[in-house]
Structure 1
Amino acid sequence: MKYIRTPKPKRERSHIPFRLNLLFFFVFLLLAALVAQLAYLQIMNGAKFRADVDSTDQATVTGSVPRGQIYDSEGRLLVANSANNAIVYTKSVGVSAQTMRDTADELSKYVTISLDGMRKRDYADYYLADKTASDAVLKKLSAAMQATTDTSKQYQAQLSYVSKHLPDYSDREKDAAAIYKKMNGATQLTTVYIKDQNVSEQEVAEVGEHLTKMPGISLGTDWERSYPNGKSMLSIIGTVSSEKTGLPAETLNEYLANGYARNDRVGTSYLEKEYESILKGAKSRTKVEIGRDNSIVSSTTDFQGQQGANLNLTIDSAYQKMVDDDVTKVFNQAKAAGEAGVSDGAYAVAMNPKTGAILAISGLHQNVKTHEVTNDSLGVLNRAFAMGSIAKPAMVLGALQDGVITVNNNTLGDSAIYLPNTPVKKSDYGIGKFSSLTATKALEVSSNTYMMHLAMLEGHADYVANSHLYMNKDIFSKMRGYFNQFGLGQKTGIDLPGEIAGLEGAEYTDGRFNVGSALDLSYGNLDTYTLIQAIQYVSTIANNGYRMKPYIVKSVSQTLSDGSSGPILSTTTPTVLSKIKNNQDQINLVKQGMWQVVHGTSGYATGTALQSLNPGVAGKTGTAQTFTRTDPENSNSTQVEAITQSFIGYAPASDPQVAIAIVVPNVSKMSSWAYDIAKLMFQDYYKLYKVPTQKNYSVHQKTANG
């Protein structure tokens, strides 16, 4: 039987084209990639990206707070804050130029502001903030400029065109342009003052009524420094920048790195600058939520802010005023006498020698060319002078350390020194007046020759009159090393900026050792010192050898809610920088000499103008021969010889409470201006602080020994 095989049915061909299958395959791959990416975002990095989203949706806005206040040692308010009404603007994220212009136009209906500093460019920016006007200007540019993708270049071209075709704006439109400039200059989520001076009650009322029409505008308070007891101490206290000037350009990056805004007020000089971190306070912090359209949808205040801490000074403003008056009175007398024509001015400082606390600091600077006199209290630490004989106590103490004299053996011949091709080196009282002198007598009569002989002993001199003088080449460093122990020639470390160290005279000229200059250094007629160095120096002698760090801020206190000074946060501790290497007997010897300067029986005692003070004082006078010009800024102007007068002293001599230092540079002849100021300063101190008088004070010389 023949079987017939049934044919296998033909497979029906797919109706899906190959290309479609290929498409499905690619879709599958894309879906797989999408799932993988979602897994990457959601599972592996979900937390990170959620944090990123949160950071972009939230931001912190800071607000300024009043600066700390400044009080004198008796609690008198020297620097306060005066509150002013202000109109402020907080710039939102992504706000358009058109929106800011609309707001500026609306605000200009209610306020007028200063147009100082407005430039043609600022009016052009305002013009182009109107989108319709900006589009119209763009159409007037070349086709290439219209098509460019460099928006900055395109905008500059628009500015160039508009600057040549600016309309004549009305006064209100000019105000609007100035307002727009301030808004446009703000960074996102920062607050700037649109008007912070002389805001009238009417302006406050009208702006307040229309705030809903002006996004970002609000009413606020601005603070500026005020001086309830006058500005006499402004050159010590310093100044604060305005909102307009903002951060100083030279330290801009440093301030920005520390969280400041460009328009923040900061201390720009002296105490305000030195204690900026304490006075500035802590800004308020408000957390804002930003919606999808970049608008602020909510805000929460995290921190209300803290007004800056207060400074309590060591200076008693009552004594400070007295010293200011003393310096002014005596310098005016010197001018009236015709002796201050080329004088730089007059400077004085008082300090507690036991602690380093500055009690008063005063100065006047005269422009020699114009004769204008200005307050220059900080000249006490940033101007240096050759002060003459006030260096002699340090010279004697250095010689005692060196061993070239002793407490019991310090008599030296008082012969003048004759060098080839050099004027005779002698004392002011003339050659041959004294055959020999002790250390105390040399201080009393201010002997130059005694000090020069000390230098020659220290330098192991080989001297033949009119022939030669040889000394060891280390004589300069040796004498300066002794002077440095007292602070002469180096910065004192006072808590004020701008202190200088002074200048050292040259040891060599054209390779030749200046041996004569070493002699000049011994009696204070070579190196220059600041008055703050001089007060540290005399205080070191007064307190029996401790070099104290001068300071002007006694303590820092918290600010209470009513703005007054509250609990003490920190107190300045008196700082001993070093102890001189003299023993007490050596210090007593020099203190005795300083007592005799004022109370000595010799007719050549140099400080007897202060002899009537009770309790008695000890001190040292100084004069230095100097040269100056009738116009110090012109090296071709006439050079004239002058005298710099100085004084250092302390009182009461038996138990020093106050040390003072004075310098009156470049007067025309030998006179008593520095001593006159010193006498008034001691008298004022005795009167203000009711220092009791002493019996037989003027004859009991051992009170100088402490």
Structure 2
Amino acid sequence: MSYFRKNSGTGNGSQTANTPLRMKILVGIILILFAALIGQLAYLQLAYGSRFAAEVDSTDQNTVSKSVPRGIMYDSQGRILVGNKAINAVTYTRGLSTSSTTMYKVANALSNYIEITDEKPSERMVADYYLADSKREAKVKKALPKSQKKTSLSTSQINDYEVAYVEKQLKPSLTSKEKTAALIYNKMSGATTLSTINLKSNGLTNKEIAQVGEHLSNLPGVGIGTDWNRYYPNGSSIKSIIGSVSTTKTGLPSDNLQYYLVNGYSRNDRVGTSYLEKEYEALLKGTKASYKVTSKSGKVSKTEQVYAGQSGASLKLTIDAKYQAEVTKALKTQFKKAIGAGAAKLSSGAYAVAINPNTGAVLALSGISYDPSKQKITDNALGNINQSFVMGSVVKGAQVAGGLINKVITPSNSTLPDTPIYLPGSPVKKSVYPVGTFSSLDAPSALEVSSNIYMMQLTLRWIKAGYVAKSYIHMPQTAFQTLRNNFGMFGLGQKTGIDLPGESSGIQGSSFDSKTGLIRSGSVLDESYGNYDAYTPIQLAQYVSTIANGGYRMQPYVVKSIGHTSSDGKRFSAYYNKKPTVQFKIPWTQSELNVIKDGFYRVTHGSNAWGTAHSLKSVKPSISAKTGTAQTFYYNAKTGKSTDTELINETMVGWASSNNPQIAFAIVFAGFNPNLEGSYNKDLAKAMVTSYYKLHKGQFTN
């Protein structure tokens, strides 16, 4: 017994003695860990303190932006073609933690003071508005089958089921006031945090502004601001060149949404959707103002401007608004005359281009589309760049140039027999005048009387075709390409590069028969005098300018300079001016060019009875020109098919003055009655030239 007591006593004494040691070790470990923690905190503070501070600030500070006025467009004389007209707007700025319930209450309250009648809420908008009422939402959720409200489903999935239930089962009918509230709620819901949107601007009355202003204290986020609309003080006919801008309702185009979002646009931003507004969007939109918004406890405590923003760049065009109006008026006058005479009964429209042949600057771009079924005329200036037509004899200047450059004919020896072409099994291919009228013609005379025969005889020699009248013809496989390459030097059959989107390159007819695989010999001959491939009016203008200026193919353009408008809107300061661009130099000699210019001069000033535009002989300043007609057929827009009703395109190109070209023009009257051919193209040419020089007195010589 004493043994066990001794051992027991010894054990207790040892435990008592070791306790302080273990405590010391534990405390030591704690101190070491504590020191390590302090060291790590110090390291983080020194190494990453600024980064953490920035992250904390980022949760308390947000950067928001505000749109700036869009750039203005001026004509060549400084007149405003399109500007911004400020209008009042009811705005809404979404807070940091604004709930759908709050927006629902504000929308209902605001619908007491404004009415939106130019929009209608969609079924989805109605459903979202209906479910924004918590009591109605609870009833709808209760009515859903169990499978559609399981706890395993996400909130968005359940909401989709609720929306579907409201749309298909309840189909709520809203009062006009509730429809306005639904539209307002939808716009509020679509706004991003701290962004400002317009709830209503178009049609906003003074009474509505006053009522909203009186109740702003009860409408959190709602304010009175300004919006803008594009306006056209010099007429809207030029709008088809300028293009359009989207509304805040349509916002960014859906087909290019990601592009705009990546480039800093908001979904409800207004952007250019067509032509100049679209082509120069990056410049016209300007740079948004930037604000730093500081918030505490979910509420905005401070707003500080970081960047005032920069209004959009302004554009000065090459087009003179007064001259544009004169050309458009003259075009419509001649077209209406043709309608009255029955010549334009099935026409698709008419187009006219005026261009500075020395620079490529577009002076006027006018066009109209015509709907025969409705007898309706619509402005369509852009038809000059996106509509293609078989142009006829106006291209014969390029054909003669090809013959001269390739030494098929020479300035001193350009005479060819005026013998019709007889292909086996085909009608005779001839000129409009009777067979035998001329035994032979030189190049200038052929242009004056518009000889198809001359162009075909020239082609046979140029491409070295084998030909026996009525029995045999053989052409090389490269025949079409030879002619098209030549026309292409003048810009025919290819895009001109004008600074407008949507330009067409024209239409090429098929070169080979799809069944036999043989080259279309007769069509090669048609091509030689402009009755096969189709070109745009702007291509014709570039082509005739190339002849007028001595052989330089100039790129057409409509934006003359880019700059900024002063804050008072009275001064335009350019920081970029367009320089004329030479795309190609025709490799002819001066004597070869003189042959073509002589022919164009004879068209209007010659003495041959078969001359096509001698009625312009007395016009001052002197005009050199070429007329054309081309066979076409009526195209039924409703069926999308061509009919067997034969029509003609009446065309004309030229320049003035003959010895000092300042203006070149191209005219197309599409789809006229061949039996009622008139002088519409020549009368329009006269009006275009005389009105231009009337506005620019003293700038010409004969």
When normalised by structure 2's length, the TM-score is: 0.92
Q: Greater CA deviation, 379-388 or 90-99? A: 90-99
2:485 maps to: 481
Which residue among 335, 338, 354 is the counterpart of 1:334?
A: 338
CA deviations 1:399-425 (Å, max 9, x no partner) are 111111111111111111111011111
**Residue 11 of structure 1: SS of its match in structure 2?**
helix
2:558 maps to: 552
Q: 1:413 to 1:115 in 2, by over 3 A?
A: closer
- Measured after TM superposition, the shift of residue 245 of structure 1 is 0.8
Amino acid at match of 2:483: M
Amino acid at match of 2:688: M
1:659 maps to: 664
What aligned pairs does 1:224-623 form with structure 2 within 5 A after superposition? 224-291=229-296, 293-509=297-513, 510=515, 511-623=517-629
Contact persistence 1:606–1:621 (CA under 8 A):
yes
What aligned pairs does 1:71-150 form with structure 2 within 5 A after superposition? 71-114=74-117, 116-142=119-145, 145=149, 147-150=151-154
Separation in 1, partners of 2:206, 2:164 = 40
Contact persistence 1:148–1:154 (CA under 8 A):
no
The answer to whether structure 1 residue 689 and structure 2 residue 696 are counterparts is yes
1:700 maps to: none
Q: 1:115 to 1:135 in 2, by over 3 A?
A: farther
1:51 maps to: 54
Separation in 1, partners of 2:33, 2:153 = 34
Separation in 1, partners of 2:113, 2:58 = 37
Amino acid at match of 1:659: A
Amino acid at match of 2:305: T
2:686 maps to: 679
Q: 1:447 to 1:115 in 2, by over 3 A?
A: closer
2:13 maps to: 11
Separation in 2, partners of 1:329, 1:51 = 69
Contact persistence 1:240–1:267 (CA under 8 A):
yes
Q: Greater CA deviation, 105-114 or 541-550? A: 105-114
Question: Number of aligned pairs?
Answer: 687
Q: Greater CA deviation, 427-436 or 560-569? A: 560-569
Separation in 2, partners of 1:311, 1:223 = 18
- Measured after TM superposition, the shift of residue 571 of structure 1 is 1.1
**Residue 13 of structure 2: SS of its match in structure 1?**
coil
Q: 1:634 to 1:29 in 2, by over 3 A?
A: farther
Amino acid at match of 1:463: Y
Q: Greater CA deviation, 448-457 or 536-545? A: 448-457
Structure 2: segments with no counterpart, 5+ residues: 1-5
CA deviations 1:616-672 (Å, max 9, x no partner) are 21111111122224x244266742111111100001101011111101122112332
1:211 maps to: 216
Identity of aligned residues (%): 47
CA deviations 1:215-240 (Å, max 9, x no partner) are 32222100001122221211111111
Which residue among 191, 194, 199 is the counterpart of 1:194?
A: 199
- Measured after TM superposition, the shift of residue 208 of structure 1 is 2.9
Q: 1:330 to 1:452 in 2, by over 3 A?
A: same
Q: Greater CA deviation, 123-132 or 367-376? A: 123-132
Structure 1: segments with no counterpart, 5+ residues: 698-706
Q: Greater CA deviation, 588-597 or 99-108? A: 99-108
Q: 1:146 to 1:135 in 2, by over 3 A?
A: farther
Q: 1:507 to 1:97 in 2, by over 3 A?
A: same
Contact persistence 2:121–2:179 (CA under 8 A):
no
Separation in 1, partners of 2:478, 2:355 = 34
Q: 1:105 to 1:409 in 2, by over 3 A?
A: same
Q: Greater CA deviation, 300-309 or 156-165? A: 156-165
Q: 1:597 to 1:165 in 2, by over 3 A?
A: closer
What's the Cα RMSD here? 2.8
Amino acid at match of 1:57: D
Separation in 2, partners of 1:505, 1:128 = 60
The answer to whether structure 1 residue 643 and structure 2 residue 645 are counterparts is no
